Amino acid sequence: MMTLPCLPESFNGVSLFGAEVLSIAASLVTNHTVSVPISDRFTQPPVEVQNATFCNVTVTYTHPGQGDTVAVEAWLPPAGGWNGRLQAVGGAGWVAGRSDLTAVAMAGAVSDGYATVTTDAGLQGAQDSEVPWALLSPGNVNLYALQNLASVSLDDEAIIAKSLIKAYYGRGPDYSYWNGCSQGGRQGLMLAQRYPTAYDGIAAGAPPLHWTNNLLAMLWPQQFMSMLGEYPYPCEIQAITAAATSACDGLDGLVDGVINEMEECLASFDPFGMVGQAITDCAETSEISQTAAAVVNATWQGMRTSQGTHAWPGPNPGTDLAIGVANTDCASGSCVGVLPAVAVPWVTQYIARGAELDLTNLTHAEFDELVHQGQQRYRSIIDTDDVDLSAFRDVGGKLVTYHGLIDQLLPPQGTLKYYDGVSALLPDVHDFYRHFEVPGMGHCSGGGPSGNPITLFDQLRAWVENGTAPDSAPVRVTDLEGTVGERILCPYPQKAIFDQDCGAAGEGRCWSCK
């Protein structure tokens, strides 16, 4: 198979319905060398990319009448090194893609033989917690930009990528895949729900699928502390977390520093029982306060309305709340709350629309109204909680989701609620969609004793291409002694059970799904 020269004119035939192509740039990249860690690949192992060669193509286009400028960037390996497949990589935070993170992930994809693609969704200047494009002017939300982030650019990206591939190699990809976590996980679910033919296989990790609830739920612990008028020291929060981990660790029959039985832990461990207990290695205080216990309890229980209605799940026991949603800053001698940066623009820019708003001084009723207004205005645009995946199923699509059970930002119960919803509507869900809980793993790849499910992408590919469904996935876990061992993850609702008679907790053969 021959390829066309890596020149802009080789791709002149690329077009997109509803869009006007403004420019096409193409350049041959050689000797591309970079270390690609797991934290940028999520479901694939790390790789050292050495002297990679690829054609870097950027298509810049606009949706006439919308005033946007969107860039889709594709990396196309030489014909002899192409595996015939496309792998798109997802974004993070408020970044749709085309960032330093996606560039590293794309290098890994090219190294594995994939053509790969990303999009900036027209949102130049976006950062994890900065959204300079949110408002056209004070009081006026840029809805076209939000739609690009939410969904439109994702479909555009897939269409353009396949067109570039066909132009360069003379044929389209045999199979197309999506790989992303967090924002990238939300994007993956949006694709399965709204654009079922875009990708054959989708790996979506820790998705903020109910965006309008998720971002306010991140602020709930800070709102609770504000209403309480008191803020605990981080060491108090961490001491309660450590005590919960110790108390609940053995509920699965194995003491290894990992909580598997979260529901039982929530029912059996009472943070208020820690009040007055001594803390070691804490400069600010010698014992756990009532305030700390109340904050931890409210965080675990999840967001509630002023009427006492449970609105959204909270993070699990064992989650490091002090670096997540219940963070406080006590450097000045008195503690203040630290708002999760990624959640703030949603309220200040989209719900308040740039009007003056003090997020640290809201009544419970005012907080409830922010939740309500966000849902009323934007749920149909950006939420990805549509459980009807029948179209994706009917075209043969395969979906895997995964979520760390000690995710510091996005409660894993939200993804379970979604899977249960799909299952209730489509009883054959297990034939095309499987969800994996990852005990001991934080957000996407951050924190905790568990590693990432680094074989899951290849397992997804096997499921798509030869029907071999992922009945389990290996994962590495560091136990209390610091020893790294292997065990397995199981597709929900199954759990990994340790065979006590086998005796080797660090060996995958001693675990089974039940």
- Spatial CB neighbours of 407, under 8 Å, sequence gap ≥ 6: 206, 315, 316, 319, 441, 442, 443
End-to-end CA distance of the chain: give it in Å, rounded.
47
Cβ 322 vs Cβ 238: under 8 Å: yes
The dihedrals phi and psi of 382, each to the nearest 5 degrees, come to: -120, -20
CB atoms under 10 Å from CB of 373, counted, come to 16
Closest CA to 389 of 197, 182, 211, 152: 197
Inter-CA distances, 140 with 124, 137, 330, 352, 466, Å: 19, 5, 37, 10, 50
Could you tell me the maximum CA-CA distance found in the chain, to the nearest angstrom? 73
Read off the tokens for 409: 């930002």
- Spatial CB neighbours of 448, under 8 Å, sequence gap ≥ 6: 404, 406, 440, 441, 442
The dihedrals phi and psi of 467, each to the nearest 5 degrees, come to: 80, 10
- Spatial CB neighbours of 411, under 8 Å, sequence gap ≥ 6: 217, 302, 312, 313, 314, 315, 316
Residue of 63, 210, 435, 443 marked active site: 443
Rg (C-alpha) for the chain, rounded Å, is: 23
CB atoms under 10 Å from CB of 511, counted, come to 24
443 carries an active-site annotation: yes
Q: Is the peptide bond before 493 cis (omega within 30 degrees of 0)?
A: yes
Any idea which residue has 């939200």 for tokens? 414
Residue of 210, 407, 450, 472 marked active site: 407
Any idea which residue has 């199954």 for tokens? 494
Read off the tokens for 91: 């974004």
368 carries an active-site annotation: no
Inter-CA distances, 505 with 8, 338, 477, 486, Å: 55, 39, 10, 8
Read off the tokens for 463: 């499921």
Give the amino acid at 329: D
112 carries an active-site annotation: no
Cβ 360 vs Cβ 226: under 8 Å: yes
Residue of 163, 182, 445, 472 marked active site: 182
316 secondary structure, DSSP code: P
Catalytic residues: 182, 407, 443
